[in-house]
């Protein structure tokens, strides 16, 4: 609250409301002020605003002579001004960084692509062990139910790779991001730019040059096409040719290329070329999925920089889950709250979002403070909700045996929003208020 007096320089300070303040100031107006007399938290201070010196009680320590900006929040009998604190270096950096962080899909397309490629048996020999190793590291529900094992998988989820490397330069082979980077490097060596872009005009010129001087080996020809045309675009082009939809310059050029190979080198050579092109498509799709997954992890590492300063720790990461020959995905969000006072222990808020085919979208929200725990499960399907509710008594007994005081343990049905990438500032005790 700000009481606004007029203070002559030779008189004793006294507090009175400045007449006509609602005409002099407007709500939302920003005022420039100088601290005439500073103080600590909740001390009375003197502020000079224009030609007037005013007495106020400050929520922040202010130094005599300090220049500040004040936002007019309310007028009337008890005017209220808010101190506008200048942005920190981190906040300025975050505001510049935010536009460059685009949303990235999770790892599911990559895992599906890996399983498909391993089944097709069309990988270079040195690539197969990396894919097999990656898939073998996907945990089961039983593994994630063990605290120490869960901790290891969180540490190896990719978001802690760089700090771990700073401590131990030997690259941790169990880390998901390290494995993806190794696979990305290998795929670049196999096919340097396959699947990165689509340059139709360059592809047409390349085919025309090849038809005039067909000296390239088939593998090199397939690699060059794969470098110029995205895998998805190439599949559409081949399908269009099979359906005799030769209605674009690029489909015409590729049709001429295939006809030339078949006429001059035979049907068997054309089939071999088509197989090589298909292999390039597969490698290009895998490479695109690997690059996207690395970008997804990097996004999770950067997003905490953009949060509000309401927590001392924010971790965003995802873990795949292998169950009944299916791969599911769990998005984790872990926040450590700020301590309100030195005597109050900081709380933790954990949110898990996952979607298992037989259960539908699910969300588990937990708020832990000391030994007190509040938990809310949210499901979209009524049958899933009933299943969760049937296990709540068992979960409550297990938590009590672990020394946890259960404040709240509920399950509700409702729409589940996408996982947040900024601070939620919502406590579970208030979720249904």
Q: Cα(130)–Cα(182) distance, rounded to whole angstroms? A: 8
Q: What is the pLDDT of residue 10?
A: 41
Mean pLDDT value across residues 219-227: 87
Q: What is the pLDDT of residue 47?
A: 84
pLDDT band at residue 267 using 50, 70 and 90 as cut-offs: very high
Top-confidence residue, 192 or 91:
91
Top-confidence residue, 312 or 141:
141
CB neighbours of residue 131 within 10 Å = 20
Q: Cα(55)–Cα(16) distance, rounded to whole angstroms? A: 9
pTM greater than 0.75: no
Pick the most confident of 48-62, 84-98, 259-273, 282-296.
259-273
Q: Cα(393)–Cα(148) distance, rounded to whole angstroms? A: 25
Percent of the chain with pLDDT over 70: 80
Measure Cα distances from 393 to 146, 368, 396, 399 in Å. 20, 19, 5, 10
Q: What is the pLDDT of residue 433?
A: 29
Q: What is the pLDDT of residue 346?
A: 79
Instruction: Kindly report the three-state secondary structure assignment for every residue of 385-404.
Output: HHHHHHHHHHHHHHHHHCCC
Percent of the chain with pLDDT over 90: 19
The tokens for 410 are: 């509920």
pLDDT band at residue 423 using 50, 70 and 90 as cut-offs: very low
Top-confidence residue, 234 or 392:
392
Cβ-proximal residues to 224 (8 Å cutoff; 6+ apart), any chain: 206, 216
pLDDT in tens, 332-346: 999 888 765 555 677
Confidence check: pLDDT of 36 > 80:
yes
pLDDT band at residue 19 using 50, 70 and 90 as cut-offs: low
Top-confidence residue, 400 or 56:
400
Q: Cα(179)–Cα(174) distance, rounded to whole angstroms? A: 7
pLDDT in tens, 175-184: 889 989 988 8
């Amino acid at each position: 609250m700000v009481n606004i007096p007029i203070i002559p320089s030779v008189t004793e300070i006294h507090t009175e409301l400045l007449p006509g303040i609602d005409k002099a100031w407007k709500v939302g107006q920003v005022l420039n002020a100088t601290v005439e007399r500073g103080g600590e938290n909740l001390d009375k201070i003197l502020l000079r605003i224009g030609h007037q010196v005013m007495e106020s009680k400050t929520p922040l320590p202010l130094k005599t002579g300090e220049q500040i900006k004040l936002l007019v929040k309310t007028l009337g009998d008890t005017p209220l001004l808010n101190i506008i604190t200048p942005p920190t270096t981190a906040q300025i950096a975050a505001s510049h960084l935010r536009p460059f962080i685009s949303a990235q899909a999770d790892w599911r397309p990559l895992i599906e692509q890996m399983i498909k490629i391993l089944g097709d048996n069309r990988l270079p020999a040195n690539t197969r062990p990396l894919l097999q190793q990656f898939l073998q590291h996907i945990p089961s529900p039983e593994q994630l139910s063990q605290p120490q094992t869960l901790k290891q998988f969180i540490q190896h989820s990719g978001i802690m790779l760089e700090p771990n490397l700073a401590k131990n330069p030997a690259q941790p082979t169990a880390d998901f991001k390290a494995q993806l980077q190794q696979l990305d490097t290998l795929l670049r060596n196999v096919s340097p730019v396959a699947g990165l872009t689509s340059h139709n005009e360059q592809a047409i010129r390349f085919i025309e040059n090849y038809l005039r001087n067909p000296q390239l080996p088939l593998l090199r020809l397939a690699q060059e096409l794969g470098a110029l045309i995205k895998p998805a675009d190439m599949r559409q082009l081949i399908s269009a040719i099979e359906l005799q939809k030769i209605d674009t310059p690029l489909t015409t050029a590729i049709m001429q290329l295939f006809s030339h190979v078949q006429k001059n080198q035979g049907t068997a050579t054309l089939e071999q070329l088509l197989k090589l092109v298909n292999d390039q498509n597969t490698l290009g799709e895998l490479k695109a999925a690997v690059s996207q997954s690395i970008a997804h992890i990097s996004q999770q590492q950067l997003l905490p920089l953009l949060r509000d300063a309401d927590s001392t720790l924010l971790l965003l990461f995802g873990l795949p889950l292998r169950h009944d020959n299916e791969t599911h995905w769990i998005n984790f969000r872990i926040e450590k709250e700020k301590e309100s006072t030195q005597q109050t222990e900081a709380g933790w808020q954990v949110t898990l979002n996952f979607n298992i085919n037989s259960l539908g979208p699910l969300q588990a929200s937990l708020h832990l403070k000391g030994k007190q725990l509040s938990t809310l499960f949210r499901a979209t399907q009524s049958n899933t909700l009933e299943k969760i509710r049937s296990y709540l008594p068992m979960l409550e007994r297990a938590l009590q045996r672990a020394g946890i005081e259960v404040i709240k343990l509920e399950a509700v049905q409702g729409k589940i929003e996408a996982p947040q990438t900024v601070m939620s500032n919502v406590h579970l005790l208030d979720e249904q208020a």
